[in-house]
Amino acid sequence: MGKPLLSIIIPTYNRANLLEKMLTSLLPQIGNYKDEIELIVSDNCSTDHTKDVIESALKKESFIYNKNNFNIGPVGNIFKTIQDIASGEFCWVLGDDDMVLNGKLHELIETIKKNNNFDYFFINYFVKSIEERNDIIDNNNSIYHPSFEECMLQDFVNKQLSSWEELFGIQTFMPSYLFTAIVSSLFRRSTWIKYSKAICLDNNAEMFSTLDTAYPHLKVIALSMHNKSVYYIGDPIVLLGQGSQEWFHLLPKLLLYRLRDAIILYEQIGVSEKYLNIVRQHYYIQYGTICAKLLEKNDDCSLELFNKAFDFEYLNGEIVNSFLKEMQLLLHKNKNNQKYLIDLLIRTLLNENDQDNLSIAIWGAGELGQFLYESSVELAKRVEVIVDSSPKVQGTIFKNKHKIQSPTYLINNQVDVVIIASIKYVDEIMSLINQLDIKSKVISVGNI
């Protein structure tokens, strides 16, 4: 028997029940390709009943089972298996919580055979919860037809791409996440071994503390495939299970910092600005959204991460706009910290405009408007309160403050920012402002 075409690698650790479902789905599909597919389950020294699951599975189908003498970390387990155990021309790493669609393994093998000159194949995938994955395996024989919206990329056509970076140009809702799931990458083993030397393997390093400990596969693929042609498998082949990741609580940190590292890597290797801008724009939006979610969570760990992440020196317009959009909702959910959130809102606006004399017009004079006024007076140079004279859009006048007619005021005075703090008639107020020929930034923190 010669060298197999493909080594399918499943690293696992103390997830016997997940692994059992995975093998139940996958093994029958491999049966017809025993000479071409080498299945390896690499156990990172599990202490649960993983061994029982393996023994039961081996009675149905033969495959390679490796158990490490001690836990060498998830990255170490993957690297060891690829370099020291696998013998296939190509390697594909699957999670024990994933699922290969029934019938798609046949298509994958045929695609690799016909396009054997490529060193890398990007495999389109879709995401489902573990409960949904298990239900598809148990009740639908691992058959499912994902929609465009469910998939990582919204192009289901298999094709050759003249350059790896062209993958960034395929329609997707999440371009900055493109290479984060290792299940999307099928690669020539010799290429991996050559370029994986750039990865620093440190079993004592904090999880996700560097790009090497978070997305080592992303780095290997980027370094090895830049300026090389690749093959895109658009037809979704694999389900990525979500919800069983023990590290899920670290996801905000992972997305805030390690995706930034990935973008820096893309810049260093010379990815074109055309594609970099696509990735950056999505990342900036995610960054602002995650910061707002950390504030909403409001526990010590989340607030500590927020304070580190919301670094004014790093922020730009896209991040700020995303953050402000989320914070408008947060102001109404989190009444206890409204004053703090409003202070942060004003500081963010000041930083975005890079000026201390920001002119802010506050439309609405209720409690929320009063908080905004107090914060603005302390931070910005010129602040006015606007209360429309219309009976339908009337607010309470602040004590010792005069009433300013609007929208006339906005036409006659140059205002940098208009903050709508009214609780009612927000749509009517927004409609009035939109009819004006003004360049003010408009933010609504009223009735969302």
Number of Cβ within a 10 Å radius of residue 60: 12
What the block records as the tokens of 351 is 């930083």
For residue 287, the surrounding DSSP H or E stretch is: helix 273-297
For residues 247-267, give the mean pLDDT: 87
Cis peptide before 407 (omega within 30 of 0): yes
Residue extents of the structural domains in the chain: 6-246, 272-351, 355-448
3-state DSSP assignment of residue 151: strand
Please give the sequence-ordered ranges of beta strands (E in DSSP) within 23-95, or none if there are none. Answer: 37-43, 64-67, 90-93
Q: Mean per-residue pLDDT for 116-137?
A: 97
pLDDT of 322 reads 72
Q: Which of 183, 182, 269 shows the shortest CA–CA distance to 225?
A: 269
d(CA 295, CA 9): 39
Is the predicted pLDDT of residue 176 greater than 80, yes or no?
A: yes
Residue with tokens 């580190």: 308
Three-state SS string over 291-341 comes to HHHHHHHCCHHHHHHHHHHCCCCCCCHHHHHHHHHHHHHHHHHCHHHHHHH
Please say if the pLDDT value at position 429 is more than 80.
no
What is the average per-residue pLDDT within 355-383? Answer: 70
Beta bridge partners of 386: 363
pLDDT at 170 over 80: yes
pLDDT of residue 402: 45
Residue 198 has pLDDT above 50, yes or no: yes
pLDDT at position 380 over 70: no
- Could you tell me the pLDDT band of residue 413, with boundaries at 50, 70 and 90? confident
CA dist 416 and 441 (Å) reads 6
pLDDT in the model for residue 389:
47
The CATH label, of 3.40.50.2000, 3.30.413.10, 3.40.50.720, 3.40.630.30, for the domain at 355-448 is 3.40.50.720
Query: How much is the pLDDT for 219?
Result: 97
Residue 263 three-state SS: helix
Query: Which pairing describes strands 37-43 and 6-12: parallel, antiparallel, or unpaired?
Result: parallel
Alpha-carbon Rg of the chain, whole angstroms? 27
Structure-model confidence comparison of residues 375 and 232, the more confident one: 232
Q: How many Cβ atoms from other residues are within 10 Å of residue 159's Cβ? A: 12
Please tell me the predicted confidence (pLDDT) of residue 329. Answer: 63
Count the neighbouring beta carbons within 10 Å of the beta carbon of residue 427. Answer: 11
- End-to-end Cα separation, the chain, in angstroms: 66
Average pLDDT of 424-439? 77
Report the pLDDT value the prediction gives residue 356, as an integer from 0 to 100: 61
Residue 254's pLDDT is what?
84
pLDDT > 60? residue 343: yes
Q: What confidence category does residue 252 fall into, taking pLDDT thresholds of 50, 70 and 90?
A: confident
Q: Provide mean pLDDT across the span 297-324.
A: 73
The pLDDT-based confidence of 419 (bands split at 50, 70, 90) is confident
136 vs 255, more confident: 136
pLDDT at 273: 95
How is residue 406 written in tokens?
A: 């609007």
Give the DSSP letter of residue 164.
G
| Residue 235 near residue 156 (C-beta atoms within 8 A) | yes
Architecture in CATH of 6-246: Alpha-Beta Complex (3.90)
Residue 37 has pLDDT above 70, yes or no: yes
DSSP code, position 397: P
Instruction: Quickly count helices (H) and strands (E) in the chain.
Output: 17, 13
**Tens-place pLDDT, residues 70-87:** 999 999 999 999 999 999
In this predicted structure, the answer to whether residue 264 has a pLDDT above a threshold of 50 is yes
DSSP for 176-231 reads: GGTTT-GGGEEEEHHHHHHHGGGS---TTSPTTSSHHHH-HHHHHHHHHHTTS-EE
Residue 346 CA from chain centroid, whole number: 28
The predicted model gives 171-176 an average pLDDT of 94
More confident residue, 291 or 321: 291
Task: Please report the pLDDT score of residue 395 as a whole number.
Answer: 42
Examine domains 6-246 and 355-448 and report if their fold is the same: no
pTM over 0.85: no
pLDDT at 100 over 90: yes
Residue at 134: amino acid letter: N
**Structure confidence at residue 41 (pLDDT):** 98
Q: What is the pLDDT of residue 1?
A: 55
**Mean pLDDT of all residues in the chain?**
85
HEC secondary structure over 4-31 = CCEEEEEEECCCHHHHHHHHHHHHHHHH
> What is the average per-residue pLDDT within 29-52?
94
